[in-house]
Amino acid sequence: MTLKTKENYLKAMYMLAEEEGVISLSGLGKRLGVSKPTVNSMVKQFQHEGWVEYQKYKPIELTSQGKKEAALVIRRHRLVEMFLVEKMEFGWEEVHDIAEEMEHVEAEILFDRMNDMLGNPAFDPHGSPIPDKNGNVLSRPYLSLSEMRRGDRVVVKALRDDNKEFLDYLNGRHIRLEVEMLVEQIETFDKSMTISIEKEPSLNLSKEVCDRLLVERL
């Protein structure tokens, strides 16, 4: 199996486990853009390599080895994103696709140097934690903005999504990490929120947007 294939499958499995709680064949297929039979045969190979635990018709589980290797791919991805934003003046909406390519570069020393130049950063430009060199990750106790109530004051800490369209939307409304917001109103019928940011006009954010904003209560 090629390294890139291995890395892409492991990363997808790791993220599915995080996001959906479970790794299904079809979820993995959709995520990777491949058919179910393809995933099925690949998963058997991953099991053979000791990266997943798998039984017919049961959900897939990453072994600790698999988790670690996946976390190291994610480490490279997030370090690259941070490097691009901090050292090369890219916007947070530009870096995902570049990092997607660079995470597969076989040059440990390059990522170590990025890490050093960035001072061993704990989070990427979207607020996601950067796993350490052993594949250990800080868990984030953040809540989604949609769980807040009227009158809550919060700080934006991370995003659930680093999709370019979403980031462009946030840029257009001056929503960045560490921005402070006040929840002014919540519409009961569509769950949209009216929020205000210091020195800016109030904004209405749809449920979809609120779900994707991870915040800390002040």
Q: Footprint of a copy of itself on this chain (CB under 8 A)?
A: 84, 87-90, 94, 97-98, 101-102, 105-107, 109-110, 113-114, 117
Which of a copy of itself, DNA, none does 94 bind, CB closer than 5 to 8 A by kind? a copy of itself
In the complex, the smallest distance separating the C-beta of residue 14 from DNA, rounded to whole angstroms, is 17
The item of DNA, a copy of itself, none sharing an interface with residue 35, based on CB under 5 to 8 Å by kind, is: DNA
The pair phi, psi for residue 8, each rounded to 5°, is -65, -40
Q: Measure the CA–CA gap between 118 and 52, rounded to whole angstroms.
A: 33
Q: How far is CA 126 from CA 59, 164, 207, 214, in A?
A: 30, 12, 19, 10
Candidate residues 47, 49, 53, 59; the one interacting with DNA per rule CB under 7 A:
59
Region near DNA per CB under 7 A, out of 35-43, 152-160, 187-195, 204-212: 35-43
Q: Give dist(CA 125, CA 83) in Å, integer.
A: 9
Q: Closest Cα to residue 18, out of 176, 170, 210, 158?
A: 158
Looking at residue 11, what DSSP letter applies?
Answer: H
In the structure encoding, which two tokens stand for residue 38, read together?
């393809």
Give me the least distance between CB of 72 and a copy of itself, in Å please: 16
Q: Which does 24 bind (CB under 5 to 8 A by kind): a copy of itself, DNA, none?
A: DNA
Taking the least distance from each CB to DNA, the nearer of 52 and 210 is 52
Nearer to a copy of itself, 98 or 137 (CB): 98
Binding residue (CB under 7 A) for DNA from 14, 21, 35, 89: 35
Q: Is 38 in the site for DNA (CB under 7 A)?
A: yes
The distance in angstroms from the start CA to the end CA of the chain is: 49
**Phi (first) and psi of residue 61, to 5 degrees:** -130, 135
For residue 126, what are its two tokens?
A: 């979207």
Q: Is 21 exposed, middle or buried (0-12, 13-18, 19+ CB in 10 A)?
A: exposed
Q: Does 57 bind DNA (CB under 7 A)?
A: yes
Give the binding site for DNA (CB under 7 A). 1-2, 5-6, 24-27, 32-38, 40-43, 45, 56-57, 59
